[in-house]
């Protein structure tokens, strides 16, 4: 009852915070000015967005009850002997039933070994931390309710700053394969959660809970992590990847660069992405050949497209348009989504490639919503209306409709 009362009090006091004229925060996970547009519309009494905000606030209230995650919570010890080192295991590798000790693990693409999702490793924990920080930071930004900022700041300090609990800024032991290695370049993919969480700190800039010393400490952590991403052999192997791993690497490095004020680095990545990522991965008909090689090819086509969308949003922050980038022999980002559209619209339509597991059309809702905003084509909204159950959720706060 007390928690419900708290939610009602917050919702009843939203209007003083919403609608105020202010500059856009340096929040690089959405298109420039998206959040200020949402806040302005909330201030004008937008009923649909108001419902979304209520759900976001309810999520934030629930998150307040959760203990901040830390790498110190895992039950396994990294090869270094230091629990401050991030550690995870490769999701598609399984014990060899022919070996007494199961070593070395062998690969079964598309079949997730549940071991990787236990408390023994940091993978689920870093994902949860990022989601917690995002919920709390966005709730604070839209409402001004200080307790959300306090808990978001605590989560960030516990993960990145406090000596007793902070993660060391590297991924040397990510996505290891037992019996083969202690970490792989593919593990860099999991760092996207680190960059996303760190990016939420900008939403706390008006709160006394996020001090200059916190900002400086996080920046120092990001500088060390950026150095690791730029020089470590595992990271460089990921940079050279041709498929979704390479796309996510570029997006992650670009986000960290923007957070550090390295606009030249971000501009270089954005400027090269048309040929390096879009043209090399999207064929003229919109297929993504490297993702079609996977045993869950529809899922991976979506996954890589999400990375390309993320890269396109980041590129907007340095004045580069990747949404409409057209290279010889490539259909571009919109064509890649259009190729998937019939299978999203009609889940019973046979997918002509390998897909080991069923796909929920809901997984494409974010792409469709963003595409409807970027390309201003009603077909995306039409398909979205047929499959979407996200109406009223936070995603609509992040991608508001264009002004009319």
Assess whether pLDDT exceeds 90 at residue 16: no
Average pLDDT (156-185) is: 98
Structural Rg of the chain based on CA atoms? 21
How many percent of the chain have pLDDT more than 70? 93
Contacts of 90 (CB under 8 A, 6+ apart): 105, 107, 113, 116, 175, 176, 177, 184, 186, 187
Determine the Cα–Cα distance for residues 170 and 284; give it in Å rounded to an integer.
38
Average pLDDT in the chain:
93
- Read off φ and ψ for residue 93, nearest 5 degrees: -110, 135
Determine the Cα–Cα distance for residues 93 and 75; give it in Å rounded to an integer.
20
Cα distances (angstroms) measured from residue 280 to each of 244, 298, 327, 337: 11, 18, 9, 16
Sequence ranges of the domains in the chain: 66-240
Average pLDDT (55-80) is: 97
- Of 108-112, 243-247, 384-388, the range with the lowest mean pLDDT is 384-388
CB 399 within 8 A of CB 310: no
Rounded to 5, what percent of the chain is helix, strand, coil?
Answer: 55, 5, 40
Assess whether pLDDT exceeds 50 at residue 147: yes
Q: What is the pLDDT of residue 22?
A: 60
Tell me which H or E stretch contains 273: helix 263-273
Which homologous superfamily is 66-240 in? Chondroitin AC/alginate lyase (1.50.10.100)
Assess whether pLDDT exceeds 90 at residue 290: yes
Contacts of 323 (CB under 8 A, 6+ apart): 312, 333, 334, 374, 375
Which is nearest to 202 in space by CA: 214, 190, 191? Answer: 214
Average pLDDT (136-160) is: 98
């Amino acid at each position: 009852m007390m928690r419900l009362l708290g939610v009602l009090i917050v919702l009843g006091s939203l209007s003083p915070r919403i609608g105020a004229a202010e500059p856009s925060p340096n929040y690089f996970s959405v298109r420039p000015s998206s959040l200020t547009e949402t806040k302005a519309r909330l201030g004008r009494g937008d009923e649909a967005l108001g419902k979304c905000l209520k759900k976001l606030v309810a999520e934030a209230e629930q998150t307040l009850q959760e203990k901040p995650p830390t790498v110190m919570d895992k039950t396994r010890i990294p090869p270094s002997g230091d629990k401050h080192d991030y550690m995870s295991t490769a999701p598609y590798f399984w014990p060899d039933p022919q070996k007494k000790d199961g070593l070395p693990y062998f690969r079964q693409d598309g079949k997730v070994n549940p071991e990787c999702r236990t408390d023994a490793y940091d993978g689920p924990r870093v994902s949860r931390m990022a989601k917690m920080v995002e919920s709390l930071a966005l709730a604070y930004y839209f409402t001004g309710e200080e307790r959300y900022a306090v808990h978001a700041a605590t989560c960030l300090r516990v993960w990145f700053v406090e000596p007793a609990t902070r993660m060391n800024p590297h991924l040397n032991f990510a996505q290891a394969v037992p019996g083969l290695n202690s970490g792989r370049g593919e593990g860099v993919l999991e760092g996207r959660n680190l960059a996303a969480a760190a990016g939420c700190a900008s939403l706390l800039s008006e709160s006394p809970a996020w001090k200059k010393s916190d900002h400086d400490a996080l920046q120092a952590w990001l500088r060390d992590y950026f150095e690791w991403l730029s020089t470590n052999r595992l990271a460089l192997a990921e940079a050279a990847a041709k498929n979704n791993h390479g796309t996510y690497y570029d997006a992650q490095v670009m986000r960290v660069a923007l957070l550090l004020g390295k606009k030249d680095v971000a501009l270089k990545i954005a400027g090269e992405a048309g040929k390096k990522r879009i043209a090399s991965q999207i064929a003229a008909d919109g297929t993504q050949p490297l993702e079609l090689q996977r045993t869950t090819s529809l899922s991976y086509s979506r996954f890589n497209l999400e990375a390309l969308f993320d890269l396109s949003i980041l590129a907007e922050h340095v004045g580069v348009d990747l949404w409409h980038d057209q290279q010889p022999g490539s259909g571009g980002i919109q064509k890649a989504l259009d190729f998937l559209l019939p299978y999203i619209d009609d889940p019973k339509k046979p997918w002509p490639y390998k897909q080991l597991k069923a796909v929920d059309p809901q997984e494409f809702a974010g792409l469709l919503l963003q595409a409807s905003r970027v390309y201003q084509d009603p077909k995306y909204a039409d398909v979205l209306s047929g499959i979407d159950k996200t109406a009223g959720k936070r995603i609509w706060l992040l991608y508001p409709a264009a002004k009319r």
